[in-house]
Amino acid sequence: MTQPASVQDRGTPIISVRDLRKTYGHGAGRFEALRGVSLDIREGESLAIVGKSGSGKSTLMHVLALLDQPTDGSVMLDSQDTKRLRGRQLNRARNKTFGFVFQQFFLTASQTALENVVLPLKIAGVGRRARHERGMAALEQLELDDKAKNKAVNLSGGQKQRVVIARALVNTPRIIFADEPTGNLDSNTGRTVEDILFTLNRERGITLVIVTHDDELARRCDRRIHIRDGVIVDEEVAA
């Protein structure tokens, strides 16, 4: 179980990036999506990454979450340079430390809620019985245990996003990365999903990194960074 964000943990960067650059394509099609981004993410904080469509938010999140490599610059996880992590080591670091909540859900429609939730445990090599127990416990936390055997395709949008959160939680991550987590939900359902994320942040000290262009959601975070054309142009800290 991840330790709650104790006072002494606040201020320690869990992820630290310096001078990140990310270039897509070559020649005339070359595009610099990140043009020198430096940022520390502290354990236990909630951080919003805001900016217009195409400004580089998702690219930055993918690099922070070790889903993509920068073209240049460094990504430190717990003061360790992640450049040295390869293949299985990289997958393990990501799987152990991070949970993901993306707008498009990424659930397997034909599988049950429970099967979707235990996927990260399967990848981590956790045995069948433990998978079942931990998967059900995660679904219970999201008040979805009665839907465990329902196929994902038959769930509502809000239920799907709760399954996604249960899946993000099943590995007891230290950080949840959420890319437009409420983008596909009506505002009431979206608010419920937000409340769940902020409760996890407050009560369990899970660090939140949320990409959003929803101002209200961004304002609920401890800190907001504004990205424009691949650079951080502004940072605001909650009063």
CB nearer to Mg ion: give 58 or 161.
58
Smallest separation, CB 158 to Mg ion (Å): 21
Q: Are 41 and 47 in contact (CB under 8 A)?
A: yes
Smallest separation, CB 218 to ligand ADP (Å): 13
Nearest to 220 by CA among 204, 205, 239: 239
Smallest separation, CB 123 to ligand ADP (Å): 24
CB nearer to ligand ADP: give 67 or 119.
67
CB nearer to ligand ADP: give 31 or 106.
31
Work out what residue 59 binds among Mg ion, ligand ADP, none; the CB cut-off runs from 5 to 8 Å by kind: ligand ADP
Smallest separation, CB 33 to ligand ADP (Å): 4
- Under the rule (CB under 5 A), what is the footprint of Mg ion? 58
CB nearer to ligand ADP: give 4 or 54.
54
Strand bridging mode 13-24 / 31-42: antiparallel
CB nearer to Mg ion: give 58 or 189.
58
CB nearer to ligand ADP: give 57 or 94.
57
Angle of helix 187-204 relative to helix 157-169, nearest 10 degrees, comes to 20
Strand bridging mode 46-50 / 231-237: unpaired
Residue with the shortest CB distance to Mg ion: 58
- Under the rule (CB under 6 A), what is the footprint of ligand ADP? 24-25, 31, 33, 51, 53-59
SS3 for 179?
A: strand
DSSP-H helix ranges across the chain: 57-64, 87-97, 113-117, 119-123, 128-141, 157-169, 187-204, 215-219
Smallest separation, CB 138 to ligand ADP (Å): 28
Please state the φ and ψ torsions of residue 4, each to the nearest 5 degrees.
-65, 155
Work out what residue 116 binds among ligand ADP, Mg ion, none; the CB cut-off runs from 5 to 8 Å by kind: none
Work out what residue 25 binds among ligand ADP, Mg ion, none; the CB cut-off runs from 5 to 8 Å by kind: ligand ADP
Work out what residue 31 binds among Mg ion, ligand ADP, none; the CB cut-off runs from 5 to 8 Å by kind: ligand ADP
Smallest separation, CB 114 to Mg ion (Å): 29
Return d(Cα 99, Cα 119) in angstroms, integer.
12
Return d(Cα 180, Cα 223) in angstroms, integer.
16
Give all strands of the β-sheet with 13-24 in edge-to-edge order: 31-42, 13-24, 72-77, 80-81
